[in-house]
């Protein structure tokens, strides 16, 4: 597994070795030693699976008191996956990192605790699966506005307006959001 830092050093891109032949392929998607060697939490407690149509933007989501680390991958289709640093004391506070994840490239993105996470579907449909280091806690769930100019994410939008939930459409910007210390 090739593991490299993105524009934010704590947000990591995992690029697997794919073993393929006429039968198909085999790929390792997780090994705790990869995380242990970098001092990252590898105690995943929940796996999630999401399917969305083209033009859907989900996020930016985070849990404030029970922050989740997420290891995200697309198992069908393609997404533009984004992490935003919400740690006020961080040198990369308010910065973002984004990568394309697809069933074809089999890459994964590590989104550390203390970051908001979101993705935009660029293919006809996409299914993602992601491992979480903390259980989902609805009372702790927060959203950050996907198009906040203070953050300046360059989403690869296929149309002017993505498909959003009411929650994501009405999310506060960075200045009004509840943040990590």
And the tokens for 150? 């203070």
Q: Quick check: 121 and 45 in contact, CB under 8 A?
A: no
pLDDT interval class at 83 (50, 70, 90): very high
Q: What is the pLDDT of residue 160?
A: 87
DSSP category for residue 99: E
Count the Cβ atoms, other than its own, within 10 Å of residue 140: 15
Q: What is the pLDDT of residue 46?
A: 97
Q: What is the pLDDT of residue 41?
A: 87
Place of tokens 């039968």: 23
pLDDT tens per residue across span 50-68: 999 999 999 999 999 999 9
The closest of 119, 117, 112 to 134, measured between CA atoms, is: 112
Which residues form the catalytic set?
A: 61, 130
pLDDT tens per residue across span 72-82: 999 999 999 99
Domains belonging to the chain, first-starting first, are 2-169 (2.60.120.10)
- Burial class of residue 114 (count of CB atoms within 10 Å of its CB; 0-12, 13-18, 19+): buried
pLDDT tens per residue across span 4-23: 999 999 999 999 999 999 99
Q: What is the pLDDT of residue 8?
A: 98
Q: What is the pLDDT of residue 75?
A: 98
pLDDT tens per residue across span 20-53: 999 999 999 999 999 999 999 889 999 999 999 9
pLDDT tens per residue across span 97-123: 999 999 999 999 999 999 999 999 999
């Amino acid at each position: 597994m090739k593991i490299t830092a993105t524009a934010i050093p704590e947000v990591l891109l995992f690029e697997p070795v794919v073993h393929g032949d006429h039968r198909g392929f085999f790929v390792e998607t997780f090994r705790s030693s990869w995380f242990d060697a970098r001092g990252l939490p590898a105690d995943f407690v929940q796996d999630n699976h999401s399917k969305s149509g083209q033009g859907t933007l989900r996020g930016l989501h985070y849990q404030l008191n029970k922050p989740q680390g997420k290891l995200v991958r697309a198992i069908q289709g393609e997404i533009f996956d984004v992490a935003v640093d919400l740690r006020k004391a961080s040198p990369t506070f308010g910065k973002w990192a984004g990568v394309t994840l697809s069933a074809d490239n089999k890459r994964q993105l590590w989104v550390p605790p203390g970051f908001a996470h979101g993705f935009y579907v660029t293919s006809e449909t996409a299914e993602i699966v992601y491992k979480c280091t903390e259980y989902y806690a609805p009372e702790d769930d927060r959203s950050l506005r996907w198009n906040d100019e203070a953050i300046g994410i360059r989403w690869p939008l296929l149309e002017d307006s993505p498909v959003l939930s009411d929650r994501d459409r009405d999310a506060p910007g960075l200045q009004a959001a509840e943040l990590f210390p």
